[in-house]
Structure 1
């Protein structure tokens, strides 16, 4: 049985994770706490390569105490700087790539686990079978979100709607899109106002 997958994103009213110039500071302090509470509840947190390049996140717990999840980075090319914060171990970091280059030795020397993959759903299965992961939190970016949704391995979607309109930029699901009749059907489980009074939080299950 594959791990349970939750996509968690904060987006503008028009569905953008970032503006056309890369600005992505959308979360209020309460939203950041919610994000880190969820991190503490999962076994692994996953991001795509562009999120690493743009944000240079550590993906550790900062706004909530608990055990750091396994960090999972997806990069087809493996073309990432080993000095990025997410590659400083511990906690455990796994780099999934389709590349086979000498550069990968640098990651391994830093304690990063390097794995090959075919599809993003293969990654989810591998995490369950070989790393005892039962629940995965996906923090983007848009291309990774789209790939997981397209391949049908997303179980839950948690969205924070920020009172911002970009008009252009990175979509929360950045891909070619579904034909209307093939679009996933969502079931709204919960919705509420953030404590800041400016954001709305939505929680969906995917049929």
Structure 2
């Protein structure tokens, strides 16, 4: 199966949470945001789950660096999306992947230039293959949320994980990989290839790759 080079990027609390129990997720310092947007400028597409669109309403455009905005990809099995979300109003191109054929929502999205792809028994791997084969996406960044990141890791459909450890502790909330979890011996082990203290001197940025 052909797929893009896949980088998972996230910023988490010391206890590994993307967001607190009230969905508060403002974890990045300005340098981490710049680092995030530099990576956005280097990939062909950025992928998020439907819950991230509903909770955060991101634009996924470049803000802190100059360059070409990546294609935006939304995964929503339920197709429960708000037509007025930023990602559906402003450029660049957005592609939505779903299992549900909601004709009314689909027609509204298509009328705005959004591409809607309906895939039975949708998986991250199937999406990545479709992006590679039909949209020439060769490098992609997964930004969240926790369920989407978990699915990519569970399916072994990723190449790197880049994570910034922020200085907060939430104690509860949404995990980096928010799923049913692995049994201990079956859990993947990654190779640490880079670690550096952030320019703010209060965060650490780590880069892991899968062992060859």
Same fold (TM over 0.5): yes
What residue number does 2:170 align with?
Answer: 166
The counterpart of 1:132, out of the listed 133, 136, 153, is: 136
Q: Distance in 2 between matches of 1:89 and 1:149?
A: 30
SS of structure 2 residue aligned to 1:139: strand
CA RMSD of aligned residues (A): 0.8
Q: Distance in 2 between matches of 1:163 and 1:116?
A: 40
> Aligned residues, how many?
207
Aligned pairs (5 A) from 1:106-185: 106-117=108-119, 118-185=122-189
SS of structure 2 residue aligned to 1:30: helix
TM superposition shift of 1:89: 4.2
Task: State the TM-score, normalized to the length of structure 1.
Answer: 0.98
Task: State the TM-score, normalized to the length of structure 2.
Answer: 0.96
Matched, 1:192 2:193: no
Runs (4+) of structure 1 moved beyond 3 Å? none
Question: Cα deviation per residue 1:93-137 (whole Å; 9 max; x = unaligned)?
Answer: 000000011221111111100002321110011100000000010
Q: Distance in 2 between matches of 1:164 and 1:5?
A: 27
Q: Distance in 1 between matches of 2:193 and 2:178?
A: 24
Is the 8 Å Cα contact of residues 89 and 111 (structure 1) preserved in structure 2? no
Is the 8 Å Cα contact of residues 89 and 110 (structure 1) preserved in structure 2? no
TM superposition shift of 1:26: 0.2
What residue number does 1:11 align with?
Answer: 12
What residue number does 1:57 align with?
Answer: 58
TM superposition shift of 1:2: 1.2
SS of structure 2 residue aligned to 1:148: helix
What residue number does 2:31 align with?
Answer: 30
SS of structure 1 residue aligned to 2:101: coil
SS of structure 2 residue aligned to 1:36: helix
Q: Distance in 2 between matches of 1:36 and 1:91?
A: 15
Q: Distance in 2 between matches of 1:101 and 1:36?
A: 33
Aligned pairs (5 A) from 1:83-98: 83-98=84-99
